[in-house]
Chains A and B, each alone.
Chain A
Amino acid sequence: MTHPKEPKTRKPATKAKPARKLAATPEAKLADDGIHPAARPFLWLGAHQVQRGFMWVIGALALIFVGTDFLHHRYGYFSWDGTFGFYAWYGFLSFAFVVLMGWPLRKLTSRPENYYGDEDKPDE
């Protein structure tokens, strides 16, 4: 297990309580930087390179599944959805459309957070 460059000097977590156990136990470390022991082996998930590389891994996987359409004809519900790579391009375009529609939609409907005047006001 490699521990990538997770900055160790980070301030303790906001909710970290004073360590109740002896300083040598793993729990003490939890209190130190707030990292859960079970999460330690997976900290590489947060690394910058991993997050950048993620896109290519997914892209490659998607291509593999499109490629299987070559090997074996895939039957759909209708004629059109059984065509080569249909779900891949349809999924990609649908997703992109939904996300890009977010911009005009936000322009149209967004208001300041406390628009209705009832946010975060404690009950009298």
Chain B
Amino acid sequence: MNFIEMITNAGGGHLLANAPALVVAIPLIAGAVAVVLGHGKLAWVWSVLIALVTFGFSLILLQSVLGGETITYAMGNWPAPLGITYHIDALNALLISLVSAMALLALLYGWPMVEREIDPKKHAMFFGTFLLCVGGLIGVAIAGDAFNVFVFLEVSSISTYVLVAMGAQKNRQALTASFNYLILGTIGATFFVIGVGLLYMATGTLNMADISRILADSEGNRVVRAAFAFIVIGLGLKTAMFPLHTWLPNAYTFSPSMIGVFLASTATKVAFYILIRFLFSVFHAGASFETAMFDFVLAPMAMVAMIVCSVQASFQSDVRRLLAYSSVAQVGYMLLGLSLGTAAGLAAGLLHMFNHALMKGALFMAVGLAGLGLGITRVNELRGLGKTMPLVAAGLTVAGLSLIGVPLTAGFISKYYLVIAVLERGWWWAVVAIVVSSVLAIFYVGRMIEAMYLQNPPTPSAAHESDPPIQVRSPVLSMAALYVLVIGSVWFFFDPSLPKGLADTAAGLLIGGGGL
């Protein structure tokens, strides 16, 4: 990674030293600037630049924790118990890179969609809010104390509500979707903050590392246990844990196309991350109440989600809704890995989180392009896409195969590790759930592939039956972004060492010594 050294050398040690602060601060401040810029395209160019810089900083952070090191950064040099601390290790460095990379790709992809779907007067607002959301998500991932997690969670959530609501120009239902999301999201946040409050009562500190140290020796009194339940359910709501997922399908379906892409590949992932952080770093995986939670709540719910939501996905007629339900099912896979409580399970869950971000991002991008080119929103409208938009259809197919978990795609790798981890625990019934859910995925993905390749495109009334179908071109930058993710979904089958290594390192840290 020569270029990273180049950047750091150019900026001196100062930039590197303050990278943890900058990676959050830059998008937050730039968000405000974007609103001031006013002009739509200018705000977009600005956002792309900022996303690029943020991505660069996240790579610097990633580079410095690859070996399993952890960085603790004190805001304004105030030491831990009083000041705000940021904490970076393999776990959240992976996540920060994911969020900033997806932000960059979504922006590169999104301009034609934004131009089509959002009122020009609101463009600057839109990109400003988007950067705010990015900053908030990175903040959640990096924050070292529980209250800051809450604050950043709210920053990202509130900006997400706004972004979803901006889909109203395309479809009025976006408003209802956003409102439902707001209600449930707020309740989730409330549960979370109640939990954090209870923890503060029990331990007298908000710093996650300190809480962890204090809780280390106790089995947990009633207050701690209540805090635990509140935090898990609060974060479960944000993660779209079944049956608390009801906000998700509508929010993904009716949001602007670019936001659908970004949310599907980052929002629930960040919530999933913070859930892991609390389950394994703040609380202790060995505690009886946590094991009970794993065995009796998380694992069963994960399996129900995998199957029920896959069935629901199979019955959807709207493509984005189908993908949204599939997302809830995929969250089930991640939660299943987590609820195993083993390093292998956790690593498999994290790996699936990463791979799912790639493939779901690609799927939403491809569907968005099909919508842009041909106004497609429903599964049966995909018919003949293999002829009218061959490149988009190919991308959709590859990402879809990855979603199923077909060999030669990244989806296979993470499912494979998940199955191995599950077998290690002897939970053969969970293997059954994985297989049934994967077969259901064959059906809902198969429906799309069947429509795209086996059916003929609808012929316009004027055209003759035998005319070759008209090919529709897509914007180059959007296609490039799509194919980065599509190639990623295949690349990480052949070389999963980067995400696998990080996931293993992170899981080792979390299981081994709390990782804080």
Contacts and interface: CB of A to CB of B under 8 A. Distances in A.
A47 to B, nearest CB: 47
A2 to B, nearest CB: 51
A118 interface: no
A124 B381 CA distance: 12
B186 interface: no
Nearest to B458: A124
B455 interface: yes
A40 B505 CA distance: 82
Main secondary structure of the interface of A (DSSP, over half): loop
Interface residues of B, number: 2
A119 interface: no
B190 interface: no
Contacts of B456: 123-124
Interface in B452-486: 455-456
Contacts of A124: 455-456
A68 B456 CA distance: 65
Contacts of A123: 455-456
A124 B456 CA distance: 7
Contacts of B455: 123-124
Interface in A65-124: 123-124
A123 B455 CA distance: 8
A123 to B, nearest CB: 7
A92 B456 CA distance: 53
A124 B455 CA distance: 7
Nearest to B459: A124
B103 to A, nearest CB: 41
A55 B45 CA distance: 91
A123 B465 CA distance: 13
A123 B451 CA distance: 12
Interface in B426-465: 455-456
A114 to B, nearest CB: 22
A123 B457 CA distance: 12
B385 to A, nearest CB: 15
Interface in A45-61: none
B428 to A, nearest CB: 40
B43 to A, nearest CB: 45
B384 to A, nearest CB: 10
A107 B455 CA distance: 38
A123 B453 CA distance: 13
B83 to A, nearest CB: 67
A46 to B, nearest CB: 42
A32 B456 CA distance: 40
B416 to A, nearest CB: 37
A124 to B, nearest CB: 7
A25 to B, nearest CB: 37
B128 to A, nearest CB: 46
Interface string B290-322: 000000000000000000000000000000000
B394 to A, nearest CB: 23
A82 B455 CA distance: 61
A24 B344 CA distance: 82
B381 to A, nearest CB: 13
B378 to A, nearest CB: 15
A124 B451 CA distance: 11
Nearest to B454: A123
B388 to A, nearest CB: 15
A50 B416 CA distance: 69
Interface of A: 123-124
4 contacts: A123-B455, A123-B456, A124-B455, A124-B456
For the complex of A and B, list the 4 residue pairs with the smallest distance between their C-beta atoms, beginning with the closest.
Answer: A124-B455, A124-B456, A123-B455, A123-B456
